[in-house]
Every structure is written in structure tokens, then in C-alpha cells.
Chains A and B, each alone.
Chain A
């Protein structure tokens, strides 16, 4: 317990600071109201809006833990959304629609996994291929149009409520629970960490690192597919041009804020979620404070550099060394 606290300390402190700042300066930030049996409030809104990036960051965490990165998640969101929207507008049953959307996403992940695991293509390049051409494929599917649809049970994914909370939050909790169980109760988490720590040694120890990579890219894309379904059902339309655009960068950022190093190895699923919530809190804060929205990007830039510096051993040495000498 103390070990995970130590790892989650910095992201939690940052998130707490953002919340305290809002509690003092944004009136009604912690105000909740119940309407039609559903809870409303700024905090709920932040969680709901952060849900897609939270899902992406969970999958991204596994990929980054193996020492890789997945740039294609935004494009996969667009593809999954496009496939689902096309099928649902053809009046197919909702389970088929969801299955097709997630299936296409999983296929995209296996494609990435094969390139990285079997063909040994560097992850940045391998996933860049799908990032560039994936959005093209999504646009091809929808013919460059925004496909709109009306289907109450399908829309539940992005707009529904369960136990008074947005259903998206339930989805995030389920995915977190499944991945945490896999990490804690099976050897899978260990396989991921050792693949990222030292691939050669892991292979000699009998770990099928190729298979591990194939699986994590598959899981990552599956998460992206789910996130794609959320944003598509949220706006009741598939917009191939903008769905998930640049979200891969937010997902990577959330993962790194959460304490998982880009070099691979130990990973923090909960930390990534905190990172995703922190990013959304910053965005929402800037919106509600009436500051120029454009400032969000500059704030994000500062956060990226600060997090990198805090994680850098060289930086910490440079900062703390003089103190040590003085003492």
C-alpha cells in the first residue's frame, strides 16, 4: 500500500491542488444537484468528459509499460465510431453494432501488435502508419460526411446514467477493475513489466515477449474503440475528421503524469486515471474561470515539461545536490 502511495503521491498532490484552487475560486465547483434521478455538478462533468481519455490512458499505460507507445488510438476511435454509426443507421441490432465497433478496433490493435512484436518495427513508426492512414480509412468509410443517428439504447453508452452517475464512469471503472485484476492476480502484469524493463532477459527467462506486445496493443486499441463509441454516442454522430483528434497525445501525457515512465517497466493504472482527470480539470478550470481557452495548450505544455523534469534523475540530482553538500 505504501509503495503505491509513494508512486501516486505527486499526481494526487497535483490533482488535490487543482481541486483546492477550484474550491476556493470557482463558486459552486463542489455543488451537486439531483435531477431526474441523476447527479449533476462540475466534478461529475469533469469525470464524464475525462472518460474517453481515461480509457485511452489505461490501454496506453500497458503499451508504454512494455517500452512502446501507441500513436494510433485517436484514429482507431474515429474508425470504431464510423463503423458503429454506419451499422446503427442501417438499423442493425445494438449488440452487433457494439461488437463490430470494438472488433474493428481490436483488429487495428492486432495489426499494430504484429508490426511491433513480429516485424520489430519501432513502435512510434508502426503506430504512426495507422495514425496517418487510419483517419483516412475512417473518412473513406463515412465518405467524408458526418453520419448522424438516433438510437436510444446505443446512445446509452455515451449519454446514459447508471446509479445516478454517467454510464461512462461505470465503463471506466469496469475496465480499470479488469486490468487491475489481471495485474494483481495473474502473471500478466509481471510479463508486461519485465518486457519493458529488459526484453532480452525476459525472452531468455521464457516470456513470450512478442505475444505480450501483441496483447497489449490489442487491449490498447480495444480501449480506444470503447472511447470511440463513447464520443460517437455522446454527440449522436460519427465525425471522422475530428473524432479523437490529438487525443493520443493527451493519453500519453496522462500516463506519464501518472508515474509510468516512457522507458517502460513499472506501471500505474490508477496514476494514469488521475493524470487524465487532472488534464480535464485543468481544461474545465480554464473554461469556467473565463480565461482564454487557448491558454489550455500553454498550461499543458508547462505541465508536460514539469512532469518530465520531476521524473528526471539528472534534474533531481541538480536540484538536491547543493542541499546534500550543505548538510
Chain B
């Protein structure tokens, strides 16, 4: 790896180093922490956060933001619960409808952002209110899902040594691979980076800006809907207030993963490591036993701060080098 490539990857490397340090520190303190089962749980317990964060990564890479991801997870979980329990839809109908709905919802927001040059922050804030409100209109109570889902989670799993890779983790891993390929080896992925780097240049180069911008919001909506499906698989229930505040955790994971909120810079791999850091902190706090859950928020805040200052320092260095 030459020097420039190394420098470009400093944020990602720093994230990986922090992730490893946290993991090793926790493993030294709590020997059971280093087991395969705990490691698999990082993926299983954070699968819906991770899937939503991966979709969000593309939006942020394009220079936008999506605040609606948590609300869409809640809406999809309620919809699935009602569809399968009350309206007796088959799972093979309900899930595709939910995913298509998520994609459509995202593309509508993308259309507003692109066509009328509206600020993405406000449009997706509206989307968040709308999805959360609609979910609460559908049902205020948590609905257990007794049909289909437990059969799916029983059937789809991979035994790994003395542990089992559950359905939620498998879906997360598939999405990771998909997002990685999309960002690295597809025309869409390259275009997202180009638009995030400089939208005007991208337009002048003749890139299909409209298609790409609407596409990233559609992708994020789809991923959020998929995260909603995974939430249902994970909890076997649907709840209108599910995943409240998930958008903030997802943004934090993306930023910790080294993606710049200004767009154009960042990686899918970084987001995955960011989600893993979330999982390690939460699990370590559970292992510790006496620390309360609000320490998670404080540690995440401190990490956010540290990573942003690190990114600033790297940018300042680059600026000096240009001078």
C-alpha cells in the first residue's frame, strides 16, 4: 500500500484499531467475552441497526441525510404484525410488500429532495413524523407475531462450532456483502461518490444525478424496511415505537466508521466496524454488570467526538500538504 492510499484510509484504520482495542480490552477483563457465541451476537443483536446504517451510508456518501430510518423500522414491524396476525396475509406476500413500500417511501423523499431542491434534513424529518404517525395509527400496542417467523428462524441458521449463526445475522452478513459490492464494483456506487464529492461537477460530467439521488433514498428506505423485517424476526413482534432514536445510532455508527457527513468520503466497511463498536460497548456494559445502560450513550458521544476531531486533523494535514 503506498503512502497516499494509507493516508486516505487513516479514518478507517483508526476505527478498526479502536474496535480491536475495545474488543481485546473487554476480552482480557472478561474471558468469556472472547467466545465465538458473543462474537456472533454482535452481528445478531445489532443486525437491524447495521442494515439501516448501511443504507444510510449511501445517503450520507451522496451528501444527504435520512432521519426516517428508525420510524420506517417501527412502521414495517407494525405492518408485518398486523398483516400476518390480523389480516392473515402470507409471509411471502407481506414481506415483499413491506420492502417495496420502504423503497417507494424512500424514493418519494428522494424525489422531493432532488426535484424541488429541498433540504434532506427537513424532508426526511417529515418522513420520520409521517412513518411514526402512520405506525401509531395502525396500532398503538405491541403485537406479538405468532405465525411464520419462528419457523423461518428455526429453519434458516448455520451451525458454527459450538454456536449458531441465526437468521438475523445471516441477513446482516448478506446485506454487508451486497452493500460492499454496490459501493466498490457498481456504476451506481461510483456515481454516489461522485455526487457526494461535488454535485455540480457530477452534473456537468453528465452523470444521471436525478436517478442516483432518488436511488440512494430508495435504497435507504428499502434497507430500513429490511431492518424492520429483521426486527420482527429478532423480537417476534411489531411495535409502533420500535427502534425509536435508531436514526441517531445509525448516523453515529456511520460517522464513527469514518464517513464524512459532507459526502463523498467513506466506506461500507467503516460503517460495519462502527456498528461492531456499538455492539462491543453494549455487550461489555452488560458483562460489567453494575454500569447502567446510559453509559453506552456517553461512551458513544465520546467516541463520536474523538473520531470527528481525528478527521479534522487529517483534513487539516491534507490542506497543508496541498499548500
Q: Determine if chain A interacts with chain B.
A: yes
A125 adjacent to B304 (CB under 8 Å): yes
Interface presence of A18 (CB below 8 A) = no
Question: Which residues of chain B come closer than 8 Å to A318, judged between CB atoms?
Answer: 116
Among candidates A115, A132, A134, A144, residue contacting B292 with C-beta atoms closer than 8 Å: A144
B301 adjacent to A139 (CB under 8 Å): no
Question: Which residues of chain A come closer than 8 Å to B305, judged between CB atoms?
Answer: 115, 129
* A47 → chain B closest CB, angstroms: 23
A136 adjacent to B295 (CB under 8 Å): yes
A136 adjacent to B294 (CB under 8 Å): yes
Interface presence of A256 (CB below 8 A) = yes
Total count of chain A residues near the partner, CB < 8 A? 47
Q: How far is the CA of A312 from the CA of B120 in the complex (A)?
A: 12
Q: How far is the CA of A252 from the CA of B122 in the complex (A)?
A: 9
B297 adjacent to A135 (CB under 8 Å): yes
Among candidates A133, A140, A297, residue contacting B136 with C-beta atoms closer than 8 Å: A297
Chain A residue at minimal CB-CB distance from B71:
A297
Interface residues on B, range: 35 or more
* A140 → chain B closest CB, angstroms: 6
Q: How far is the CA of A297 from the CA of B135 in the complex (A)?
A: 10
Q: How far is the CA of A175 from the CA of B149 in the complex (A)?
A: 55
A125 adjacent to B137 (CB under 8 Å): no
Interface presence of B251 (CB below 8 A) = yes
Question: Which residues of chain B come closer than 8 Å to A3, judged between CB atoms?
Answer: none
Q: How far is the CA of A124 from the CA of B133 in the complex (A)?
A: 24
B301 adjacent to A312 (CB under 8 Å): no
Among candidates B125, B132, B255, B261, residue contacting A252 with C-beta atoms closer than 8 Å: B125
B304 adjacent to A129 (CB under 8 Å): yes
Question: Which residues of chain B come closer than 8 Å to A79, judged between CB atoms?
Answer: none
Interface of A is mostly: helix
Q: How far is the CA of A121 from the CA of B133 in the complex (A)?
A: 33
Interface presence of B90 (CB below 8 A) = no
Interface presence of A105 (CB below 8 A) = no
Interface presence of B126 (CB below 8 A) = yes
Question: Which residues of chain B come closer than 8 Å to A125, judged between CB atoms?
Answer: 255, 261, 304, 308
Question: Which residues of chain A come closer than 8 Å to B248, judged between CB atoms?
Answer: 128, 131-132
Chain B residue at minimal CB-CB distance from A111:
B305
B294 adjacent to A294 (CB under 8 Å): no
A133 adjacent to B298 (CB under 8 Å): yes
Interface presence of B20 (CB below 8 A) = no
Interface presence of A304 (CB below 8 A) = yes
Question: Which residues of chain A come closer than 8 Å to B133, judged between CB atoms?
Answer: 294-301
Chain A residue at minimal CB-CB distance from B68:
A301
Q: CB-CB contacts of B211-251 with A at 8 A, as 1s and 0s?
A: 00000000000000000000000000000100000001001
Q: How far is the CA of A304 from the CA of B68 in the complex (A)?
A: 13
Interface presence of B129 (CB below 8 A) = yes
Interface presence of A120 (CB below 8 A) = yes
Given contacts A135-B297, A297-B136, A298-B129, contact A308 B122 (CB under 8 A): yes
Chain B residue at minimal CB-CB distance from A261:
B119
Question: Which residues of chain A come closer than 8 Å to B94, judged between CB atoms?
Answer: none
B121 adjacent to A69 (CB under 8 Å): yes
